[in-house]
Structure 1
Amino acid sequence: MAASGGIKNKFLTWLRISNKPVVKVYRGYVQQEKAVLFGHVLRLSPLPRKKYRKNFWVNTFALLRLFITRPVQGATVKVKGIQQDVRYVTEKDGFFRLEWTPEKPFPPGWHPVEVDLITDYLGPDKPVATGEGAVYRSHPTQYGLVSDIDDTFLISHSANLRKRLRVLLTENAYSRDPFEGVVRHYQLLARAGTMPEAPNPFFYVSSSEWNLYDYILTFCEKNQLPDGVYLLSQIKRFREIWKTGQNKHVTKFARIVRILEAFPDMKFVLLGDDTQEDPNIYTSLVSHFPQQIRCVYLRRVHKNNEARTQVFVDQITAAGVPCCYFTHSAEAIRHSERIGLVEATGSKNSESR
């Protein structure tokens, strides 16, 4: 048995897979003085990627590794280093959500947080594993931004499973591209009605799985997209990889609702595309939160969905919320300037990244 275990451990090491308990902590946020942080406890998980090469087999293997996971249900996690005993018992998929009110309110900006995996046997002072994350307290700005990811700023072919898998398997976070002009638009939105040192908060809400968190984060950092909080979908196991991006979209609606309710005094800009259910979801959000939605942007990607999407666009504008259904980001930028959301910058270089 020991020899078998040794061979298994060596094989997993060669695959760069950890078979030790891991607390994966994501970015959280502060809502009305309450900190919210989430993550997963995993018994099997991929180690971070160190090198990026334009090699089909390397990229394919690196992507497949992201789905080699084994979530831990019923594990107890605790926020480290605070007086309150803030705990959570992980759900079936290993997910946890921690909420607490800091003794001293967090000032605006990012704040590191650690989460311990604890057991009754060892006690809270001897964690089995510790994960590092961060919570963001937004500046008191006028606007918040909620953006989809796939085919909104990251070219993904979400409407075609074969093409989506091909891109995921053959490219990497450094080799993939955003749509032309989209980074400029997002950077302008981050400064809309505020100053560079107090940017508007971004919430990236996607049907992509938590498996792709590091992949997406690396892509956004590499392309200088505004920093933000990521709210992704339920983690998937290796056997479910062919279902990537095909989550139930009702959960996406619920995640955005939580954001809007967390920041009731903030107006939001919604950014999505026409490949899946963004037009339907955003129309529903406008009907439920008409006073909180400043405007809606929908990228025109899937020709077969244009007529259906236009129906939703008409409903949004009829509710009194500006909506831009665009093909190129330069159109979206001009719309943002026209409605006074961002300062006019002129058309020069409007399609630059």
Structure 2
Amino acid sequence: MTKSQKSFSKSIVLPILYGVKRRFSKAKLWVGIKTGIVKSIMILPYKGFGNENEIFLIGRVLKDRGIGISNLDDSRWLNFKKMYKRFMTWEIPRVKVKAMFQGLEQIVSTDDEGYFEVRIQSDLGFEINQPWQEVELELLDQVVKNQKEVKSKALVFIPSGNVEYGVISDIDDTIVPTGATRIWEMLKTTFLGNAHTRLPFAGVGEFYRSLSKGTDGVESNPFFYVSSSPWNLYDFLMEFLEVHGIPKGPLMLRDLGLSREQFFAGSHSEHKLFQVEKIFEIEKQLQFILIGDSGQHDPEIYLQAIKEYPGKVKMVYIRDVLERREKEVLEIAREMEELGVEMILVKDTVEAALHAKEKGWIWEEDVRDIIAEKEAVD
């Protein structure tokens, strides 16, 4: 398709298709409410982050899905049904949500897909007595008959205490092997597995916990997860992190599907770079260790972030999952070095941990635990 054809499709065809989609979604929701299929509404908040003067979080208003947590012995069919519910959502557009935090309030509206964004600022500064703070959320509009109060609490991470650095990590093929470079394998593991059956790379849990502790032994170094996976997988991924003892933190995903701006999904690279930059801008006081893999474009994304935010990145670890890209990635590493940032291509978690120990970022005894965990799996 030529550039002019693409421009025509985006300016003429996309608005038509999006208009059809919105009319269908509106009719579907109306029928769902009238027939009682939609009878309970939920606010699904995603973990946010902030600093002493600002907090940021995203959430979504949906029909209550009733998915619940998973178990190790859940069947593939049950896993599939839960995943189906995650993707077949009934989003609630154009309703108001009130956010309340430390005496401040903000009223926001959901967009066509049910998403809302909260950004509360305080010139006086917030009272930070612990890293995780609660934000109260309340739905202000009535959507269904006999609707009870619809409330939720969002968790927002505000770095406090002795924070040495922050960590931004990819998920697919960085924390967990997903076959992101092999579409069929990725779909199979996504739809038929659950948080218990999906296993991280050996040693990842121990390595990430050691980075969270740093050198003072207190898990205060914040983690942020940036992925091109859809928001539909949010609860699944958060449960995965908890089940496998990987430090919890804000998880920045993306919306898939037809929208006002895109036919299916925006650029993988643009999304991840935008989220990394957003973290940099809010967590102004921190330097970051960036962790990704060579399967997609993490090295290129991180290089661009380093160029645009000098001094924000102290180290880059890239898991080598695609051998044919090795030469290309090493060339990016040389370019990063010229900008004053070291990047190493690692075969496994132990290699990254040994390097972090040499840099004085984690304890030697933690490295022994990481090696033991890897040997137990191997």
Q: Secondary structure at the match of 1:162?
A: helix
Counterpart of 2:234 in structure 1 is 213
Q: TM-score, normalised by structure 2?
A: 0.80
Asked if residue 340 in structure 1 is aligned to residue 360 in structure 2, the reply is yes
Counterpart of 1:296 in structure 2 is 316
- How far apart, in 1, do the equivalents of 2:54 and 2:34 lie? 46
Deviation string for 1:101-131 (max 9, x for gaps)?
468523232122221111399xxxx985222
Structure 1 residues 98 and 328: CA distance shift in structure 2, 3 A? same
Asked if residue 49 in structure 1 is aligned to residue 68 in structure 2, the reply is yes
Q: Secondary structure at the match of 1:99?
A: strand
Shift of 1:344: 2.9
Asked if residue 145 in structure 1 is aligned to residue 164 in structure 2, the reply is no
CA contact (8 A) 1:26 1:133 kept: yes
Question: What is the aligned residue count?
Answer: 332
CA contact (8 A) 1:41 1:94 kept: yes
Shift of 1:5: 7.2
User: Which amino acid in the other structure matches residue 308 of structure 1?
Assistant: E
Shift of 1:143: 0.3
Counterpart of 1:163 in structure 2 is 185
Task: Name stretches of at least 5 consecutive residues in structure 1 with no aligned partner.
Answer: 13-17, 238-242
CA contact (8 A) 1:119 1:128 kept: no
Name which of structure 1's ranges 69-78 and 144-153 shifts more when overlaid on structure 2: 69-78
Counterpart of 1:316 in structure 2 is 336
Shift of 1:75: 1.5
Asked if residue 280 in structure 1 is aligned to residue 295 in structure 2, the reply is no
Q: Secondary structure at the match of 1:172?
A: coil
Counterpart of 1:204 in structure 2 is 225
Asked if residue 119 in structure 1 is aligned to residue 141 in structure 2, the reply is yes
Counterpart of 2:284 in structure 1 is 264
Shift of 1:201: 0.6
Counterpart of 1:38 in structure 2 is 58
Deviation string for 1:17-49 (max 9, x for gaps)?
x6533211111122232222220112x352133
Q: Secondary structure at the match of 1:70?
A: coil
Name which of structure 1's ranges 70-79 and 209-218 shifts more when overlaid on structure 2: 70-79
Counterpart of 1:15 in structure 2 is none
CA contact (8 A) 2:33 2:39 kept: no
- How far apart, in 2, do the equivalents of 1:296 and 1:78 lie? 39
- How far apart, in 2, do the equivalents of 1:6 and 1:107 lie? 43
User: Which amino acid in the other structure matches residue 160 of structure 2?
Assistant: H
User: Which amino acid in the other structure matches residue 233 of structure 2?
Assistant: L
Counterpart of 1:184 in structure 2 is 206
Structure with the higher helix share, 1 or 2? 2
Deviation string for 1:214-238 (max 9, x for gaps)?
101111101111121111111559x
Structure 1 residues 68 and 19: CA distance shift in structure 2, 3 A? farther
Shift of 1:179: 0.2
Q: TM-score, normalised by structure 1?
A: 0.85
1:37-116 to structure 2, matched below 5 A, reads 37-42=57-62, 44-52=63-71, 53-80=73-100, 83-101=103-121, 104-116=126-138
Q: Secondary structure at the match of 1:154?
A: coil
CA contact (8 A) 2:49 2:158 kept: yes
- How far apart, in 2, do the equivalents of 1:106 and 1:177 lie? 35
Shift of 1:331: 0.4
Q: Secondary structure at the match of 2:370?
A: coil
CA contact (8 A) 1:148 1:205 kept: yes
**Structure 2 counterpart of 1:134, from 155, 158, 164:** 155
